[in-house]
């Protein structure tokens, strides 16, 4: 049976790390293990159309973003194809049209690399399954995560599962540097439906890309300590997620966020991605938490936006607090309400 043409469509979510990945070795191998919550609403939806072509030794694809040709994304995709070519030798047999869009506002400062690379990797695995119908679901998902990792490290945590670990850790069965795995134990009910409200503090282009940031961990004076700390924090958060210790969760998650930014501030060259409003928000969260005992906390990615994490049963109180006290620090008053999700979906 010769497959001539067809198309697939997948959506893949973003994710938010609790223990952060910052620093990598060659071939997108993380310097330390990380764990994240998969998000539900912040997604990339990507359609991949394929048409058989002669294998002339080149990759051939068109790229559409929200229906319009997008030339400036093409080098990133080409690099991705080159990186995965040896694992997907069929890519040069097809011309692709990649049609992609995000559910979150364009240039909101929310990185779409994790959701985007995961969605593309799922589509490529759908093509592989057409070419080789015998592959199992586990193989499909594991290889999708493996490929997504080669596109953008954290993307490998956006394939499947609510809580995903990436990076070899001695206490996490099946964990690997090569792909993300679902947290292998039941998560305590307190962490079910956990909420993430993303406060959009700064929507501008980051001054320093995460690629440059990871690189600056080479020769960083605190790198070795940091990598050890991530291992310890992952051990600790494992018990926390199983047993539902919200206080410990808060300590680990906030410390991880601040440590990530401390690494940026102490690299050479040094840089700061937080904005004054990031700090205003953090202080307000601390004050609110100590006054109300409501177990909300913050985390940060490689940017100025603040992710506010909290259990679903305090949602009303937290959203009221955000409305009353935090929207003023958001650009155009913008924030996005998200929650834990389950991973990529074929649509």
CB of 205 to ligand PMV, least distance (A): 14
Nearer to ligand PMV, 127 or 336 (CB): 336
CB of 129 to ligand PMV, least distance (A): 26
Nearer to ligand PMV, 150 or 296 (CB): 150
Nearer to ligand PMV, 121 or 260 (CB): 260
The alpha carbon of 146 is separated from its chain's Cα centroid by a whole number of angstroms, namely 14
Nearer to ligand PMV, 8 or 307 (CB): 307
Nearer to ligand PMV, 34 or 38 (CB): 34
CB of 215 to ligand PMV, least distance (A): 10
Which spans of this chain sit near ligand PMV (rule: CB under 6 A)? 17, 20-22, 34, 113, 152-154, 210, 214, 260, 301-302
User: Nearest Cα to 233, choosing from 255, 266, 217, 264?
Assistant: 255
CB of 292 to ligand PMV, least distance (A): 29
Nearer to ligand PMV, 78 or 135 (CB): 78
d(CA 193, CA 189): 8
Note whether 46 and 99 are within 8 A (CB).
Answer: yes
Nearer to ligand PMV, 127 or 201 (CB): 201
Tokens 């609510």 belong to residue: 162
CB of 211 to ligand PMV, least distance (A): 6
CB of 234 to ligand PMV, least distance (A): 12
Note whether 191 and 34 are within 8 A (CB).
Answer: no
* Spatial CB neighbours of 132, under 8 Å, sequence gap ≥ 6: none
CB neighbours (10 Å) of residue 145? 29
d(CA 217, CA 313): 39
Note whether 37 and 16 are within 8 A (CB).
Answer: yes
CB of 232 to ligand PMV, least distance (A): 16
Note whether 298 and 309 are within 8 A (CB).
Answer: yes
Transcribe 54-98 into DSSP letters.
Answer: ---S--EEEEEETTEE-GGGHHHHHHHHHHHTTT-TTGGGEEEEE
The distance in angstroms from the start CA to the end CA of the chain is 25
d(CA 324, CA 306): 16
């Amino acid at each position: 049976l010769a497959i001539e043409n067809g198309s697939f469509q997948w959506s893949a979510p973003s994710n938010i790390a609790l223990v952060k990945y910052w620093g990598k070795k060659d071939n997108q191998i993380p310097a330390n293990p990380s764990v994240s919550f998969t998000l539900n609403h912040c997604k990339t939806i990507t359609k991949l159309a394929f048409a058989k072509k002669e294998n002339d030794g080149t990759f051939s694809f068109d790229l559409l973003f929200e229906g319009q040709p997008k030339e400036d994304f093409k080098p990133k995709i080409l690099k991705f194809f080159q990186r995965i070519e040896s694992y997907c030798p069929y890519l040069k047999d097809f011309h692709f049209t990649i049609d992609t869009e995000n559910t979150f506002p364009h240039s909101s400062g929310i990185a779409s690399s994790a959701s985007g690379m995961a969605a593309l990797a799922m589509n490529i695995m759908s093509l592989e399954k057409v070419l080789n119908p015998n592959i199992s679901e586990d193989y499909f998902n594991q290889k999708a995560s493996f490929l997504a990792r080669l596109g953008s490290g954290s993307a490998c945590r956006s394939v499947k599962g609510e809580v995903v670990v990436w990076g070899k850790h001695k206490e996490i069965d099946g964990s690997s540097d090569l792909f993300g795995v679902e947290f292998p134990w039941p998560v305590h009910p307190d962490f079910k439906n956990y909420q993430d409200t993303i406060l959009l503090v700064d929507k501008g282009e980051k001054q320093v890309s995460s690629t440059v940031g990871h690189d600056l961990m080479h020769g960083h004076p605190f790198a070795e300590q940091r990598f050890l700390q991530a291992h310890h924090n992952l051990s600790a958060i494992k018990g926390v997620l199983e047993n539902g210790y919200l206080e410990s969760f808060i300590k680990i998650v906030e410390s991880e966020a601040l440590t990530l930014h401390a690494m940026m501030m102490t690299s050479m060259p040094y840089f700061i991605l937080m904005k004054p409003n990031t700090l205003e928000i953090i202080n307000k969260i601390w004050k609110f938490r100590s006054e109300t005992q409501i177990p909300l906390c913050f985390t940060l990615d490689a940017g100025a936006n603040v992710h506010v994490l909290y259990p679903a049963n305090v949602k009303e109180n937290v959203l009221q607090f955000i409305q009353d006290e935090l929207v003023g620090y958001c650009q155009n008053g913008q924030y996005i309400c998200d929650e834990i999700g389950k991973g990529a979906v074929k649509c």
